[in-house]
Amino acid sequence: MIKLIGLVPLFPLIGFLINGFFGKKISKSLSGIIASVSILASFILSVLIFIELNGSTEKSHIINLFSWINSGTLTVPFELLVDPLSALFLLIITGIGFLIHVYSIGYMHDDEGFSRFFTYLNLFVFFMLLLVLGNNYLIMFVGWEGVGLCSYLLIGFWFKNTAYNNAARKAFVMNRIGDLGFLLGIILILITFGSISYNEVFLKAGTVSTGTITCIALLLFVGAMGKSAQLPLYTWLPDAMAGPTPVSALIHAATMVTAGIYMIVRSNIFYSISDVASETVAIVGVITALFAATIGLFQNDIKKILAYSTVSQLGLMFLGLGVGAYSSSVFHVTTHAFFKALLFLGAGSVIHAMGGEQDIRKMGGLSSKIKITFVTMLIGTIAISGLPPFSGFFSKDEILAHAYEHSPLLWFFGQVTSMLTAFYMFRLLFLTFYGKFRGTHDQEHHLHESPSSMTFPLIVLAILSVVGGLLGLPEFWHMPNWMANNLDTVILRKNPSTMPHETEWMLMGIAVLAAIATIYFAYIVYMQKKTLPLKENDKMPGFQKLVYNKYFVDEFYDAVIRKPLDVLSVAFHKFFDIQIIDGIVNGVGSAVKGIGSGVRLLQTGNIGFYVISMVIGIVFIVLVTFLI
């Protein structure tokens, strides 16, 4: 089966081509079925490959499809790599992707761009699979750019709305900033190692100076910051909620934003060698996690709350990467894919029931109206809050334990982030599903549970959110940590834990008690006291206003970066483009025109004048020849 790995990305590509060329000529239901079946075929094949790989003694297989680039000393084969890391990501991408495709059939049923939506989704999955399967940095970069393009298309899917187009453009531009760092990192890898294939590069990494490795690692991290929405390149992701909700679940919760995590785990040898790069990753990660978590406290758009939660959770993953807990971060990627996709799809079900309303201030009392959505979102909320035995508890606790071993200060900020997460997620749950309904009479009359095509994925993801923690049970429970053991061959330099079991139990107890106390506090505020968020025109306290307006980061970027660049662009246009460039071009044209006009005056039609001119010319030639 492993030799058939090329079919895994091929199936979504076929679905993209069929819907792309014939989508408007076939029925909506058939278009959705074709797109979904193509992902299902990839998922089934991925499962078979995963089973075969785990039953084999050889944990890394390179499949050479064809010779891609041969130029001088540069040879880049088009190779696919099947190992425990790529096989796991295949399951996440195709499994979650299939559920979201099924959900989209119900969610997008009445949309006029139905087939176009599934065309973009299939293309996205193709590029994401290419990103994780490529055996060199160039193939990864092709997939990297491809998912960026699809993100732009899907965020701006409803292109008749100017605000959505602006959000899509913002995502595209900010990702390009990060991608420049990634591209420079690839170029430096090529210059340093003479190759961009993983096996050749990683084999020689220990022979290169630490300074060069640090530079490579930091450049790659810049790319990860853009794609995985870390400070300062995070502002595109909350705005990306302009896209349809299934897009938010697929791209901005389970797959695309985790590409940066995948890239750093794949390149873990660089970060294991460079302490500077690792510390940078950890510090940026924990600052992003805490920063985004505080913003989520006072947001009222149900999707925006989940968006900032995603930024925060990604920050925790980077914290894990920075302290050398690579398998723990991948574990959290996996569990996060379950419960965050569940929460986004649950939010979509709420929005569907509310007739498009996304403001939680206008909801309330929905638990009895959309029971399946409520129960599944409750499970997702508990999981992301880090309560046992749900999946988020195990993965988050593992990252925090490694952070404590590295630096108690990093653990403290990570723990505060976890508490804030529990607070704003239960705030969302209480305000949405409890109390009295605060919407309009028409909205209340419209309330109904979503169709089975939408609730089925919610149920499956809810089950995964409950049992997903079994993938990485703590070893001191005398249970095998499957995730760590599975990725053992991918992590090239190990950083084994020496923490006493008593300390681990203590940290686990602190995390659970802190989460319970935070949830109880949210219960008192929003259930017992029935506190409601302030309205748009209400006066807010200073700090709350600052956080509600997201610390005015977008306004700061606009004032400090965009406007000065606009002024500089106008200045260059007026003076450099018009005066110099256009002046030179227009000057040459005017000179030629003037000379032509002068020469034209010599054409008088007088034969005597022509004879005299010829004589003068001959005399001039003779004199020049004589003098020379």
Binning pLDDT at 50, 70 and 90, where does residue 583 land? confident
Please tell me the distance from the alpha carbon of residue 99 to that of residue 40, in angstroms, as a whole number: 9
Please tell me the distance from the alpha carbon of residue 224 to that of residue 215, in angstroms, as a whole number: 14
Please tell me the distance from the alpha carbon of residue 256 to that of residue 7, in angstroms, as a whole number: 21
Least confident of 292-301, 307-316, 368-377, 440-449: 440-449
pLDDT tens-digit series, residues 416-437:
999 999 999 999 999 999 999 9
Binning pLDDT at 50, 70 and 90, where does residue 152 land? very high
Mean predicted confidence (pLDDT) in 549-571: 91
pLDDT for 559 beyond 70 = yes
Mean predicted confidence (pLDDT) in 31-46: 96
**What radius of gyration do the chain's Cα atoms show?**
30
Contacts of range 72-75, beta carbons closer than 8 Å, 24 or more positions apart: 73/194, 74/190
Helix crossing, 302-322 with 326-353: angle to 10°? 180
pLDDT for 478 beyond 80 = no
468 exposure class (CB count in 10 Å sphere: 0-12, 13-18, 19+): buried
Which stretches within 156-258 are classed as H helix? Answer: 162-193, 198-204, 210-227, 236-239, 245-249
29 exposure class (CB count in 10 Å sphere: 0-12, 13-18, 19+): exposed
Please tell me the distance from the alpha carbon of residue 316 to that of residue 325, in angstroms, as a whole number: 11
pLDDT for 304 beyond 80 = yes
Binning pLDDT at 50, 70 and 90, where does residue 455 land? very high
Please tell me the distance from the alpha carbon of residue 517 to that of residue 315, in angstroms, as a whole number: 23
pLDDT for 103 beyond 90 = yes
pLDDT for 234 beyond 90 = yes
Contact (Cβ atoms closer than 8 angstroms) between residue 167 and residue 240:
yes
pLDDT for 628 beyond 70 = no
pLDDT of residue 92: 95
Closest listed residue to residue 342, CA positions, set 288, 295, 382: 382
Of residues 626 and 169, the one with the higher pLDDT is 169
Contact (Cβ atoms closer than 8 angstroms) between residue 324 and residue 484:
no
Q: Where are the domains of the chain?
A: 553-627
Single-letter amino acid code for the residue at 323: V
Single-letter amino acid code for the residue at 155: I
Structure-block tokens of residue 276: 């500077």
CA angle 389, 390, 392 (to 5 degrees): 125
SS3 222: helix
Binning pLDDT at 50, 70 and 90, where does residue 9 land? very high
Structure-block tokens of residue 272: 């294991």
Longest Cα–Cα distance of the chain, Å, equals 116
Binning pLDDT at 50, 70 and 90, where does residue 477 land? low
pLDDT for 506 beyond 70 = yes
pLDDT tens-digit series, residues 273-296:
999 999 999 999 999 999 999 999
Binning pLDDT at 50, 70 and 90, where does residue 476 land? low
Mean predicted confidence (pLDDT) in 151-159: 93
* pLDDT > 90: percent of the chain: 71
Cis preceding linkage at 389, omega within 30: yes
Least confident of 46-50, 130-134, 363-367, 498-502: 498-502
* pLDDT > 70: percent of the chain: 99
Which stretches within 439-498 are classed as H helix? Answer: 441-446, 452-467, 482-486
59 exposure class (CB count in 10 Å sphere: 0-12, 13-18, 19+): middle
pLDDT of residue 415: 97
pLDDT for 212 beyond 80 = yes
Mean predicted confidence (pLDDT) in 535-548: 85
Binning pLDDT at 50, 70 and 90, where does residue 49 land? very high
SS3 69: strand
Which stretches within 481-581 are classed as H helix? Answer: 482-486, 501-523, 542-548, 553-557, 563-571
Q: What single DSSP character describes residue 481?
A: -
Mean predicted confidence (pLDDT) in 144-152: 94
CB atoms within 10 A of CB 564: 10
CA angle 464, 33, 153 (to 5 degrees): 80
pLDDT of residue 176: 92
Please tell me the distance from the alpha carbon of residue 593 to that of residue 605, in angstroms, as a whole number: 21
Please tell me the distance from the alpha carbon of residue 610 to that of residue 492, in angstroms, as a whole number: 88
Please tell me the distance from the alpha carbon of residue 142 to that of residue 186, in angstroms, as a whole number: 12
Please tell me the distance from the alpha carbon of residue 377 to that of residue 103, in angstroms, as a whole number: 15
Please tell me the distance from the alpha carbon of residue 96 to that of residue 521, in angstroms, as a whole number: 33
Closest listed residue to residue 247, CA positions, set 425, 461, 97, 30: 97
Tell me which range, 32-41, 153-162, 558-567, is most confidently predicted by mean pLDDT: 32-41
pLDDT for 499 beyond 90 = no
Contact (Cβ atoms closer than 8 angstroms) between residue 327 and residue 473:
no
Mean predicted confidence (pLDDT) in 473-488: 81
